[in-house]
Amino acid sequence: MKSPYGGYPVYYYTSTGKKALFPNELTYKTWYSDFNGVKVISQIELEAIPLADKNITVRPGNSVIRFELDRTLYVVEKGGSIRAITDAVARELYGATMWYLYIEAAFRANYTTGMPATTAALYNRTAALNASPSIAVDAGL
Protein backbone atom coordinates (compact mmCIF):
# COMPACT_ATOMS: atom_id res chain seq x y z
CA MET A 1 0.00 0.00 0.00
CA LYS A 2 1.07 3.58 -0.50
CA SER A 3 -0.29 7.09 -0.31
CA PRO A 4 -2.02 8.71 -3.28
CA TYR A 5 0.99 11.01 -3.82
CA GLY A 6 2.85 8.35 -5.83
CA GLY A 7 6.37 6.99 -5.58
CA TYR A 8 7.64 6.05 -2.18
CA PRO A 9 7.03 5.13 0.52
CA VAL A 10 5.51 1.73 -0.21
CA TYR A 11 4.52 -0.53 2.69
CA TYR A 12 3.73 -4.16 3.27
CA TYR A 13 0.49 -4.60 5.22
CA THR A 14 1.09 -7.26 7.89
CA SER A 15 -1.33 -9.86 9.22
CA THR A 16 -1.37 -7.91 12.52
CA GLY A 17 -2.66 -4.75 10.85
CA LYS A 18 0.63 -2.85 10.79
CA LYS A 19 2.68 -1.40 7.94
CA ALA A 20 6.28 -2.41 7.27
CA LEU A 21 8.35 -0.15 5.04
CA PHE A 22 10.07 -1.24 1.85
CA PRO A 23 13.20 0.93 2.20
CA ASN A 24 13.55 1.38 -1.56
CA GLU A 25 12.30 0.14 -4.91
CA LEU A 26 15.20 -2.31 -5.27
CA THR A 27 14.20 -4.07 -2.05
CA TYR A 28 10.57 -4.17 -3.19
CA LYS A 29 11.54 -5.71 -6.54
CA THR A 30 13.36 -8.60 -4.86
CA TRP A 31 9.89 -9.68 -3.69
CA TYR A 32 7.58 -8.49 -6.50
CA SER A 33 8.13 -7.94 -10.22
CA ASP A 34 5.81 -4.93 -10.54
CA PHE A 35 3.57 -2.60 -8.55
CA ASN A 36 0.25 -4.05 -9.80
CA GLY A 37 -0.66 -5.41 -6.36
CA VAL A 38 0.02 -2.16 -4.51
CA LYS A 39 -3.12 -0.60 -3.12
CA VAL A 40 -3.26 3.20 -3.05
CA ILE A 41 -4.95 4.57 0.06
CA SER A 42 -5.48 8.08 1.36
CA GLN A 43 -2.78 9.77 3.39
CA ILE A 44 -5.15 9.82 6.38
CA GLU A 45 -5.72 6.05 6.12
CA LEU A 46 -1.99 5.43 5.75
CA GLU A 47 -1.10 7.54 8.78
CA ALA A 48 -3.69 5.71 10.88
CA ILE A 49 -1.93 2.35 10.40
CA PRO A 50 0.78 1.75 13.02
CA LEU A 51 4.32 0.92 11.95
CA ALA A 52 5.62 -2.63 12.32
CA ASP A 53 8.66 -3.21 14.50
CA LYS A 54 10.88 -3.75 11.47
CA ASN A 55 11.22 -2.86 7.82
CA ILE A 56 11.26 -5.27 4.89
CA THR A 57 14.67 -6.64 3.92
CA VAL A 58 15.97 -7.94 0.59
CA ARG A 59 14.63 -11.39 -0.28
CA PRO A 60 17.13 -14.11 0.65
CA GLY A 61 18.97 -15.72 -2.25
CA ASN A 62 17.94 -12.96 -4.63
CA SER A 63 20.94 -10.64 -4.75
CA VAL A 64 24.24 -9.62 -3.31
CA ILE A 65 23.86 -6.43 -1.27
CA ARG A 66 26.19 -3.66 -0.19
CA PHE A 67 25.53 -0.84 2.24
CA GLU A 68 26.38 2.79 1.70
CA LEU A 69 29.76 3.62 3.32
CA ASP A 70 30.64 -0.10 3.59
CA ARG A 71 32.59 -1.86 0.84
CA THR A 72 31.69 -5.32 2.16
CA LEU A 73 29.47 -7.51 0.00
CA TYR A 74 26.78 -9.60 1.71
CA VAL A 75 24.33 -12.39 0.92
CA VAL A 76 20.97 -12.41 2.69
CA GLU A 77 19.41 -15.26 4.64
CA LYS A 78 16.00 -15.69 6.24
CA GLY A 79 14.90 -12.92 8.58
CA GLY A 80 17.38 -10.36 7.26
CA SER A 81 20.50 -12.13 8.48
CA ILE A 82 23.47 -11.22 6.29
CA ARG A 83 26.78 -12.96 5.68
CA ALA A 84 29.87 -11.21 4.35
CA ILE A 85 31.34 -12.64 1.16
CA THR A 86 34.28 -11.85 -1.06
CA ASP A 87 33.95 -10.58 -4.61
CA ALA A 88 35.15 -13.99 -5.84
CA VAL A 89 32.45 -15.82 -3.85
CA ALA A 90 29.82 -13.36 -5.12
CA ARG A 91 30.83 -14.05 -8.72
CA GLU A 92 30.81 -17.79 -8.14
CA LEU A 93 27.31 -17.62 -6.66
CA TYR A 94 25.76 -15.03 -9.00
CA GLY A 95 27.88 -15.20 -12.16
CA ALA A 96 30.61 -13.14 -13.77
CA THR A 97 28.24 -10.27 -14.51
CA MET A 98 27.07 -10.15 -10.89
CA TRP A 99 25.75 -6.84 -9.64
CA TYR A 100 24.69 -5.87 -6.15
CA LEU A 101 21.85 -3.96 -4.59
CA TYR A 102 22.97 -0.77 -2.92
CA ILE A 103 21.23 -0.18 0.41
CA GLU A 104 21.33 3.16 2.22
CA ALA A 105 23.37 3.13 5.45
CA ALA A 106 20.30 4.13 7.49
CA PHE A 107 18.74 0.74 6.74
CA ARG A 108 21.74 -1.33 7.91
CA ALA A 109 19.93 -1.71 11.26
CA ASN A 110 17.26 -3.82 9.50
CA TYR A 111 19.79 -6.63 9.13
CA THR A 112 21.64 -8.86 11.59
CA THR A 113 25.15 -10.10 10.92
CA GLY A 114 25.84 -13.82 10.68
CA MET A 115 29.03 -15.73 10.05
CA PRO A 116 30.90 -14.89 6.81
CA ALA A 117 30.47 -17.25 3.88
CA THR A 118 34.12 -17.69 2.96
CA THR A 119 33.33 -20.09 0.11
CA ALA A 120 30.39 -20.45 -2.25
CA ALA A 121 29.69 -23.88 -0.74
CA LEU A 122 28.74 -22.17 2.54
CA TYR A 123 25.75 -20.38 1.01
CA ASN A 124 22.97 -22.14 -0.88
CA ARG A 125 20.96 -19.63 -2.94
CA THR A 126 18.16 -22.07 -3.70
CA ALA A 127 17.77 -23.05 -0.06
CA ALA A 128 17.75 -19.36 0.93
CA LEU A 129 15.01 -18.58 -1.62
CA ASN A 130 12.95 -21.61 -0.61
CA ALA A 131 13.21 -20.77 3.10
CA SER A 132 11.58 -17.39 2.41
CA PRO A 133 8.73 -17.90 -0.07
CA SER A 134 6.94 -14.79 1.20
CA ILE A 135 7.56 -11.71 3.31
CA ALA A 136 5.29 -13.08 6.03
CA VAL A 137 7.41 -16.23 6.29
CA ASP A 138 10.74 -14.41 5.97
CA ALA A 139 10.11 -11.65 8.48
CA GLY A 140 7.50 -13.32 10.65
CA LEU A 141 5.05 -10.50 9.95
Mean pLDDT over 20-33 rounds to 93
Q: What's the whole-model pTM score?
A: 0.89
CA 55 to chain centre: 9
Mean pLDDT of 88-96: 93
- pLDDT for the residue numbered 2: 52
Task: Report how far Cα 2 is from the mean position of its chain's Cα atoms.
Answer: 18
> How far is it, in rounded angstroms, from Cα 53 to Cα 48?
16
% of the chain at pLDDT higher than 90: 77
Contacts of 103 (CB under 8 A, 6+ apart): 23, 24, 26, 27, 58, 65, 66, 67, 68
**Residue 82: its pLDDT value, please?**
97
> In the structure, what pLDDT confidence band is assigned to residue 116 with cuts at 50, 70 and 90?
very high
Amino acid 72: pLDDT: 96
Overall average pLDDT of the 68-96 stretch: 95
Strands (E), 6-137: 10-13, 19-22, 64-67, 73-77, 81-85, 100-103, 112-113
Share of the chain above pLDDT 70, in %: 94
Report how far residue 84's alpha carbon sits from residue 43's, in angstroms, rounded to the nearest whole number.
Answer: 39
Residue 137: pLDDT band by 50, 70, 90 thresholds? very high
Distance CA 1, CA 72 (A): 32
CB count, 10 Å around CB of 128? 20
Query: What's 55's DSSP letter?
Result: -
pLDDT reported for residue 7: 60
Average pLDDT for 39-44: 88
In angstroms, rounded to a whole number, what is the distance separating the alpha carbons of residues 47 and 15? 17
69: number of Cβ within 10 Å: 8
Band (31; pLDDT cuts 50, 70, 90): very high
pLDDT of residue 6: 56
